[in-house]
Amino acid sequence: MFGRSRPQGPGTAAAGEATPPAGGYFGGQEPMRAFDRPVTDAAVLLRDVHKKYGRGSTATHALRGVSIALPRGSFTAIMGPSGSGKSTFLQCSAGLDRPDSGSVLLGDTELTRMRENKLSDVRLSRMGFVFQHFNLLPALTVHQNVELPLKLAGKRIDRNKTEEILSRVGLPDRGHRRPGELSGGQQQRVAIARALVTEPDVIFADEPTGALDTTTASEVLALLREAVDQLGSTVVMVTHEPNAAAWADRVLFLVDGEISDELTLVDSEEIASRMRELTRTANRSKAAAAPVRGRA
């Protein structure tokens, strides 16, 4: 781990649940909170981003004019009902998909009009990725998986540094193993080590705990939290789970391609309750908009 274990405190969740204490992290010694920082300090900035799939009457508006600044050194969770645009938000933010209009900046770097090969370099050297199903290469050792982004970016590989990162994520002496010899939680730790190895500007995590049990999920979320608090990383995480979102500084709620709400430093019960409200409202709007069948 990063030298400190997950802070204990008067959290509202049951023991073992992936929820931080209500009183804040590390005994209230955290640095200036992400949402207090000026917008100019954004690690990721989206300006009026629109993304549509398909054409004409069958087109789906996945993002409808999203504008948001994600500050450096912050942990943001993206939530919303199924189909609300969460994955599209993550993909456009990470330059994996291109918006139809609007702009996406990584720090001062405009991604929207960048050529694909340059974009690929930026992703390799300045972004880290953590996925639900780990996405490790089974034929490579843990060392090789962690070092892969450096190798692909043509950067120098320092085995001592790889070992140091593996120790930080709680996996010392596992570097010679293959992913198939590790548990799901251990594989996700390797994926986090791989995401950290380039010291990226932003780590994008897509349902990083979706395939893990509650306790293991909690350990993985603690690692992401510690990366933010102790290494100054910026984490953007899509999740369906209020317990996971409660580890973030800020939770953004997407509904029908728009950011409809946000909460800061809240517990999982408040997040779950806001999600229920938003889902009810979204379902009512859909029902009202649907054509009435079977009536003359």
Which residues contact ligand ATP by CB under 6 A? Answer: 53-54, 60, 62, 80, 82-88
Nearest-approach distance from CB 130 to ligand ATP, in angstroms: 16
* Nearest distance in Å: CB 101, ligand ATP: 16
DSSP state of 91: H
**Minimal distance in Å, beta carbon 105 to ligand ATP?**
20
Task: Give whichever of 82 and 160 is closer to ligand ATP, judged by the CB atom.
Answer: 82
Note whether 5 and 253 are within 8 A (CB): no
CB of 166 to ligand ATP, least distance (A): 31
Q: Are strands 42-53 and 101-106 parallel, antiparallel or unpaired?
A: antiparallel
Nearer to ligand ATP, 91 or 186 (CB): 91
Burial 54-92 (b: 16+ CB within 10 A, else e): eeeeeeebbbbebebbbbbbbbbbbbbbeebbbbbbbbb
The two structure tokens encoding residue 107: 């720090």
CB of 255 to ligand ATP, least distance (A): 10
Is-contact 95 260, C-beta < 8 A? no
Helices (H) and strands (E) in the chain, counts: 8, 10
Beta-sheet strand order (sheet of 60-71):
60-71, 42-53, 101-106, 109-110
Q: Which is nearer to ligand ATP, 54 or 172 (CB)?
A: 54
The residue among 20 and 85 lying less far from ligand ATP, judged by its C-beta, is: 85
Letter string b/e over residues 229-242, b meaning 16 or more CB atoms within 10 A of that residue's CB: beeebbbbbbbebb
Q: Cβ closer to ligand ATP: 60 or 264?
A: 60
Cβ at position 235, least distance to ligand ATP in Å:
18
Q: Which of 86, 174 has the CB closer to ligand ATP?
A: 86
Nearest CB to ligand ATP, comparing residues 182 and 244: 244
What are the residue ranges of helices labelled H in 100-213?
116-126, 142-152, 159-168, 184-196
Contact 13, 19 (CB under 8 A): yes
